[in-house]
Chain A
Amino acid sequence: MAETGNLSVPAARRSNGPGLWSNPVTWLRIAIIVGILAIWEATAASGLLYRDVVPSLLAIGRALAKLLSNPEYYWHLSVTAGEVGTGLVIGGLLGLTVGIAFGASKLLGKSFEPYLYYLGPTPKIIFFPIMIMWFGVGPGSKVAMGAISCFFPIALSAAAGMRQIDEVLIRVGRSFRASTSQMVMKIYLPAMRLPVVNGVRLGLGVAIIGTLLAETKLSNRGIGYLIIQAYSLFDMPSMYAMLIVLFIIAIGANALVGRIGRFDAIKQK
């Protein structure tokens, strides 16, 4: 969200310098990972915690292999992907429209943007009972949760992007007597694509969270449903395996959209 600031690491600090294996950073990273895995395995073997709360790495590895070779898992993954994607499209288009309107008109922006700004950081999952009443217990309510979650960051980013557009570009469009749709398609959207991509990146993250949380609360399909099923059956290795895959997918999707934005920024320069 625009109001949650930038939590990324500056590019200059991301570099580890030349020579991967001669770099002490690489060795420290390996040491930390090995240390964590050793502590994990020791805890699993010690029986200090309830059985299976910390399963052995081998058990998690087996569960991960079983999960990834199970076609049913991919069906559930496709259901969640479909819900997240649909939610992102609906929430994104709404957010983009509202953001462009608020960014284009000072009066509209000043009148309504504070509501978006302050409603953005509220916990969206509490709207789930309302979404169930409106859209039923099926995928509709999950799509709605995804849409409502991503609407705010995309709308706020689009409004901010609109205000950053060079006035000259807008005057050029008007001097060519461009219609509103032409202005949006030919001037506004190309000029504000970087903030919009950033908004979509943030929106995608919260749409994934909103949809999956809704699935864990009430659903009979999707990854969220599988996670809560694993919890109910106390199948901890499967739960860890699913969480690992989910985190990789979520962080990977976030990084992919971020990379698109960075690639676009480099091309612009």
Chain B
Amino acid sequence: MNAAATTRKFSEQRFLPFTLGFGALVAFFVAVEVLIRIGVISRYIVPLPTQIFAAFERVIVEEEILSRFRVTFVEAAIAGGMISVVGISLGILLYRFDLLRRATETWVAAMASAPTVLMYPLFLVIFGRSMWTIIMMGFVAGLPAVILKTLEGLSGTRRVLINVGRSFNLTPSQQFTKILLPAALPTIFVGLRLGLIFMLINIVGVEFLINFGGLGQLINDLAERYDLPGTYATIFFVVLVSVCFFIFTEKVERWLRPGT
């Protein structure tokens, strides 16, 4: 058994599932195309897959999907920045003050499982039908995950590292920046990743619901115009953006936490 054989076996192990998965996806689209063409599926409900793929160019050029993407990106960037700053700060605050932590940690966890997105009509009243409603909805959705994971990361710092810091007579701020924060960083990033995913889901969702902003609004616009291929193509595009974002954050997490 040599390296070449091992590599071949490895590529075979990955090649077969990929081919089967991708092949099944292509076969599904071909089957839908055939079923629509022979009239089994109504083309007024499901457009031809070839029409959907053709609609991509139209959606990109005529509907200015890239500038819509930019709007969503700006909203996500602002909400993400707010989640990072406020979430990590609150996590540190709860770590520093144990009594406060014991009093409020379960509330933060309850907030994480609460359907906060349903508060969007309330946010519409407070912030109006504006970018800030979308940003704040993203912020509220992502905040608890960052607080809880920051707290978990800081609390999980190994005792030996803290003792090493003490033996070097580090000041509290040095102890925090040189020992606690670097040790907690991978867990904090897990929280950030979760928070950013919740945030993105909420931002696109609220854009769609209030018909304002970037990609979510475009789906709503196209659906109201009954542009079926365009609606499907935009939904594919949004799913693709979400998947890319998820993969990117996952890669960063693996880089920060090798072996997970």
**A binding-site residues for B, Cβ under 8 Å:** 3-5, 7-9, 13-14, 16, 24-25, 28-29, 32, 49, 53, 107, 110-112, 114-115, 118-119, 121-123, 125-130, 132-134, 205, 208-209, 212-213, 216-217, 224, 227-228, 230-231, 234, 236, 239-240, 243, 246-247, 250-251, 254
- For B119, give the chain A residue with the smallest CB separation: A243
Choose one: A7, A111, A115; the contact of B145 (CB below 8 Å): A7
| B117 neighbours in A (Cβ, 8 Å) | 209, 213
State the majority secondary structure of interface residues on A.
helix
Q: List 10 A-B contacts (CB under 8 A).
A: A8-B109, A13-B102, A107-B17, A111-B20, A212-B118, A216-B209, A231-B124, A243-B119, A251-B110, A254-B113
A31 to chain B, nearest CB (A): 9
Contact of B208 with A125 in the complex, beta carbons under 8 Å = yes
Contact of B148 with A111 in the complex, beta carbons under 8 Å = no
From known contacts A111-B24, A122-B239, infer whether A9 and B106 are also in contact, taking CB-CB under 8 Å: yes
Contact of A217 with B209 in the complex, beta carbons under 8 Å = yes
| A130 neighbours in B (Cβ, 8 Å) | 231-232, 235
- For B241, give the chain A residue with the smallest CB separation: A122
Contact of A129 with B125 in the complex, beta carbons under 8 Å = no
| B50 neighbours in A (Cβ, 8 Å) | none
B30 to chain A, nearest CB (A): 17
State the majority secondary structure of interface residues on B.
helix
Give Cα A184 to B223, complex, Å. 42
| A213 neighbours in B (Cβ, 8 Å) | 117-118, 205, 209
Contact of A7 with B112 in the complex, beta carbons under 8 Å = yes
From known contacts A126-B219, A234-B125, infer whether A205 and B113 are also in contact, taking CB-CB under 8 Å: yes
Instruction: Tell whether B27 is near chain A: CB-to-CB under 8 Å.
Output: no
From known contacts A29-B103, A121-B242, infer whether A129 and B197 are also in contact, taking CB-CB under 8 Å: no
Instruction: Tell whether B122 is near chain A: CB-to-CB under 8 Å.
Output: yes
| B120 neighbours in A (Cβ, 8 Å) | 216
Instruction: Tell whether B48 is near chain A: CB-to-CB under 8 Å.
Output: no
Choose one: B190, B238, B242; the contact of A5 (CB below 8 Å): B190
Instruction: Tell whether B161 is near chain A: CB-to-CB under 8 Å.
Output: no
Instruction: Tell whether B154 is near chain A: CB-to-CB under 8 Å.
Output: no
Contact of B219 with A111 in the complex, beta carbons under 8 Å = no
From known contacts A122-B242, A209-B118, infer whether A133 and B45 are also in contact, taking CB-CB under 8 Å: yes
From known contacts A133-B45, A228-B121, infer whether A251 and B114 are also in contact, taking CB-CB under 8 Å: yes
Give Cα A115 to B240, complex, Å. 11
Give Cα A24 to B99, complex, Å. 8
B176 to chain A, nearest CB (A): 21
| A53 neighbours in B (Cβ, 8 Å) | 125-126
Residues 191-233 (chain B) with a chain A CB within 8 angstroms:
194, 197-198, 200-202, 204-205, 208-209, 216, 219-220, 223, 228, 231-232
**B binding-site residues for A, Cβ under 8 Å:** 16-18, 20-21, 24-25, 45-46, 99-100, 102-106, 109-110, 112-115, 117-122, 124-126, 144-145, 148-149, 190, 194, 197-198, 200-202, 204-205, 208-209, 216, 219-220, 223, 228, 231-232, 235, 238-239, 242-243, 246-247
Contact of B121 with A212 in the complex, beta carbons under 8 Å = no
A141 to chain B, nearest CB (A): 12
Contact of B24 with A112 in the complex, beta carbons under 8 Å = yes
Which of B125, B216, B232 is packed against the most chain A CB atoms within 10 Å?
B125
Choose one: A4, A25, A230; the contact of B99 (CB below 8 Å): A25
From known contacts A53-B126, A212-B115, infer whether A123 and B242 are also in contact, taking CB-CB under 8 Å: yes
- For B148, give the chain A residue with the smallest CB separation: A7
| A126 neighbours in B (Cβ, 8 Å) | 204-205, 208, 216, 219, 235, 238-239
Contact of A134 with B45 in the complex, beta carbons under 8 Å = yes
Which of A123, A209, A250 is packed against the most chain B CB atoms within 10 Å?
A123
Give Cα A224 to B119, complex, Å. 11
Which of A9, A16, A110 is packed against the most chain B CB atoms within 10 Å?
A9
| A228 neighbours in B (Cβ, 8 Å) | 121
Contact of A236 with B115 in the complex, beta carbons under 8 Å = no
| B219 neighbours in A (Cβ, 8 Å) | 126, 129
Give Cα A12 to B16, complex, Å. 46
Please list the 5 inter-chain residue pairs (A to B) with the smallest Cβ-Cβ separation, ordered nearest first.
A129-B223, A110-B17, A231-B121, A111-B21, A111-B20
From known contacts A13-B102, A32-B104, infer whether A127 and B235 are also in contact, taking CB-CB under 8 Å: yes
Contact of A239 with B20 in the complex, beta carbons under 8 Å = no
Contact of A123 with B209 in the complex, beta carbons under 8 Å = no
From known contacts A4-B194, A32-B103, A231-B121, infer whether A122 and B115 are also in contact, taking CB-CB under 8 Å: no
| B232 neighbours in A (Cβ, 8 Å) | 130
A74 to chain B, nearest CB (A): 19
From known contacts A8-B109, A126-B204, infer whether A216 and B121 are also in contact, taking CB-CB under 8 Å: yes
From known contacts A9-B106, A111-B24, infer whether A123 and B118 are also in contact, taking CB-CB under 8 Å: no
| A3 neighbours in B (Cβ, 8 Å) | 246
